[in-house]
A and B are shown apart, each in its own frame.
Chain A
Amino acid sequence: MQAFLAILRYDLSQLTQSWVSRIWVPLLIAPAFFLLIVAGTEDELASETLAAYLVAVLMPLSALAVAVLTAGAIAGEAQIIADGILSRSVTRAEFVSAKVVSRLGFTLSVFLVVMIPFSYLIIRYAEADVSYTGLLVGLFTAALLLTFLGALGLTLSTVMTNVMVSVMSLLIVVLASGLLLQFLGLSWMSVTAVLAHLAPTIRGETPAWDTFRVVFVFSGLTAASILTTYSVFRQRDL
């Protein structure tokens, strides 16, 4: 447990000091202010503004940031991990757990830090057409998609040794699978299709079964990715 906490603290300090975090957060906040002013002055619908922000700004930028932060989590630090951390009294499970908690926790923290005040202000100043349950479901769905992306990035990071290759692979896999699943009529399994459907979800117009199906699929995929990360990393030679 001590090793887990030490690695968690170390990794979080690495994340807060990384150039990705320093760019990511300001890039999310600036357009949020712009949309807030536009929505307030033009009486835009809150659900449409929130969905537009999530689909056009937060998710693409965050996907890129999460890809870099998670796909480089293990591959990018392989030497330091082996020599400096895992050669000491740390188990592979403790190490992966700390990485999963810090990288996914950091991603979700950034998401919440941006989305909670933004949602509050949009509901207050724009045309309030959201249902609170729908808003919670919409934000939860977006957060789940980011978590899934992060979990997949961590898995690729344990499988691949080159950070750039794992980042590119992650983005290509998510986009290509989204398009393919939509083509196959399985849009509820596609990240891009789920994002495109966020505005009605925030208004509370999405049937409960559809929401459950999306949550079930992406929770399952996230869990499977994390378990794969554990399994692969336990077997891996360092």
Chain B
Amino acid sequence: MHVVNTTDLTKIYDNRYIALNALNLRVEKGQVFGLVGPNGAGKSTTFRLLLGLQKPTAGQLQVFGEQMGAERADLRRRIGYLPTNPTFPKHMTPIAFLQFVGSVLGMPKDRAKIQLTRLLQAVDLANAASQPIKGFSTGMLTRLGIAAALMNDPELLILDEPTSGLDPAGRKQTIELIRELSGRDRTIIIATHILTDVERVCTDVGIISAGRLIYSGPMADMRRLARQGTIAVEIEGNTSSFEQELHTLDEFGSVRYERIGAEFRITFLGTQPLNEYLNRVLALIDRTGVELLHVDTGSDEIEEAFLRRLEDDRTRGFLRAAAWAAALDGDSSDRKEEADAGIPGHPSV
């Protein structure tokens, strides 16, 4: 079952700013879905629409198979939400705030007290439980936000930048908490800039750019995509000979390389498996007599893949627009579909 299902979800603010552009997002039950994208890509807007805090300008939006809206308190009861930089009533203590959240959720007082005690311990705020929130650091506020999001033991947890402002220990703790929740068959959607967090906890990932979902798929596919094509080698010896011979690898398609000191980052733009490229590079090392110090097919891999997807999307933007214009001229539905999918003749991501 789709826990979240959006079809051509569009949000335009004041007829001036397109925050979401026909977003098609599907999140299945039990997934830990990482939504990544640059600032202003539309992640927080997506979340606010999913919660019914904002109205879509166009398109469909279903949560738990039902239409979400401002009056759907019944659906929100099943959702936990952590906003970016959460704000709380400053004079309240964490205990008072979580009790308030519990009463808003209609929890019996006793159950709310047990739950908030457990959660304050889980997010390491038990010692600050009776202090006013106004003295809290950003990390403490985020942790309190996580506790508030978990008060109702939600089926769907929406976390907007859950590790922002946290110190390494807090970040690790939060990641562990998300892992534990995902093990309990919860559906979790996380928006973050920290791609290593996505890699560590997410089963699926979506890349959002300029309000469009430009990639959506299992994390394993993203990893494969990341590893595809880039090999970094650090060599010693006759490096200029190695550099001169690099063009011989071109038989597999276009090759780009970047040299930083003794390190060569070689990117293959063809479609062969990575093993094939690696064998060729190792053979070249052997042939040119340089000494291999280090080889890497995966450093910064997710970031690389993420940036590559963004770059591809920007390039495709022009072609998509051209294809759309042509489709509108000729009224060709096939070409229109191609335009929607990406560049003509290329599969959609």
Q: Name A residues whose Cβ lies closer than 8 Å to a Cβ of B.
A: 2-3, 5-7, 9-10, 14, 17, 79-80, 82-94, 234-235, 237-238
SS class of chain B's interface: helix, strand, loop or mixed? loop
Q: Is the CB of A87 within 8 A of B73?
A: no
Q: Is the CB of B70 within 8 A of A89?
A: no
Which residues of chain B are within 8 angstroms of A86 by Cβ–Cβ distance?
53, 70
Which residues of chain B are within 8 angstroms of A10 by Cβ–Cβ distance?
89, 100
Q: List 7 A-B contacts (CB under 8 A).
A: A17-B91, A84-B88, A88-B81, A88-B152, A90-B104, A91-B70, A237-B48
Nearest 10 A/B pairs, CB to CB: A89-B77, A6-B103, A2-B106, A237-B54, A83-B83, A89-B73, A238-B53, A87-B81, A6-B104, A79-B87
Which residues of chain A are within 8 angstroms of B81 by Cβ–Cβ distance?
83, 87-88
Q: Is the CB of B53 within 8 A of A93?
A: no
Q: How far, in whole Å, are A164 and B219 apart by their CA atoms in the complex?
A: 49
Interface contacts (Cβ under 8 Å), in number, total 81
Q: Is the CB of B89 within 8 A of A91?
A: no
Contact of A87 among B51, B55, B100, B103 (CB under 8 A): B51
Q: How far, in whole Å, are A80 and B87 apart by their CA atoms in the complex?
A: 6
Which residues of chain B are within 8 angstroms of A7 by Cβ–Cβ distance?
104
Question: Nearest A residue to B45 by beta-carbon distance?
Answer: A237
Which residues of chain A are within 8 angstroms of B83 by Cβ–Cβ distance?
82-83, 87
Q: Is the CB of A82 within 8 A of B53?
A: yes
Query: In angstroms, how far is the closest chain A Cβ from the Cβ of B108?
Result: 10
| Residue B302 CB within 8 A of the other chain | no
Contact of B105 among A17, A80, A88 (CB under 8 A): A88
Question: Nearest A residue to B71 by beta-carbon distance?
Answer: A91
Assuming A89-B105, A89-B106, is B73 touching A237 (CB within 8 A)?
no
Q: How far, in whole Å, are A80 and B53 apart by their CA atoms in the complex?
A: 13
Q: Is the CB of B89 within 8 A of A80?
A: yes
Question: Nearest B residue to A1 by beta-carbon distance?
Answer: B106
